[in-house]
Amino acid sequence: MTFESTSSADDRRKTFLLQEIQPGLLGLMDGSVSTLAPIFATAGLTGRPLSAFFVGLAASLGAAISMGLSEALSDDGSVTGRGSPLRRGAITGFATGLGGMLHTFPFLIPNLGVALKLAYAVVVCELPRDRLHSLPLHGRQACRHHRAGHRRRRHRIRDRRRARTYRGRLSLAKTGAQQKE
């Protein structure tokens, strides 16, 4: 494997992440966040799961259209390297609709209690996904870096205390030596 093939593979990977993965994750997060309140409010107020499903469907569709258009019209991709606006808008719009529908589907179950519990479980599964993808580092790697930062900070504090104690002992020793003279 040559250096050129490695750099072109890295470029393709970065381009794929920037032009397809990032708009998809943006859409998933926006879809799940923008439809939570209307769905659960409708379920709670009406007591009918099918009404909550239709509100979730409408909110997901509206959010998908809004996000798809805003992403497609935001820039042409030439300056930022984010690719074709139509493709990016389509990816973001589809992912937004999907993100909104994931916790809407449980409301097809006629029993409101079961539908709510299943929807809560879906939301619990969605939230870590949204949180993890917004971090620069993922999963265990992020935790390791977090713990390493605490360790470094703890060692710096400990080293400062030791240095103060050592300087204090030195000054006491000097003072005692001066008094003997």
Q: What is the mean pLDDT of the chain?
A: 79
**Token pair recorded at residue 51:** 């009404």
Measured on CA atoms in the order 31, 37, 38, 43, is the torsion positive or negative?
A: positive
Q: What is the pLDDT of residue 137?
A: 43
The set of residues, in sequence order, having a beta carbon less than 8 Å from that of 112 and lying 6+ positions away, is 43, 47, 48, 49
Q: What is the pLDDT of residue 21?
A: 86
Separation between Cα atoms, residue 102 and residue 119, nearest integer Å: 8
What tens digit of pLDDT does each residue of 127-170 get? 765 454 444 444 444 445 445 555 666 667 677 777 666 666 66
Higher pLDDT, 137 or 32: 32
For the whole prediction, is pTM greater than 0.85?
no
- The pLDDT of 162-181, averaged and rounded, is 62
Compute CA distances 43 → 99, 110, 113, 125, 127, whole Å. 19, 12, 10, 20, 20
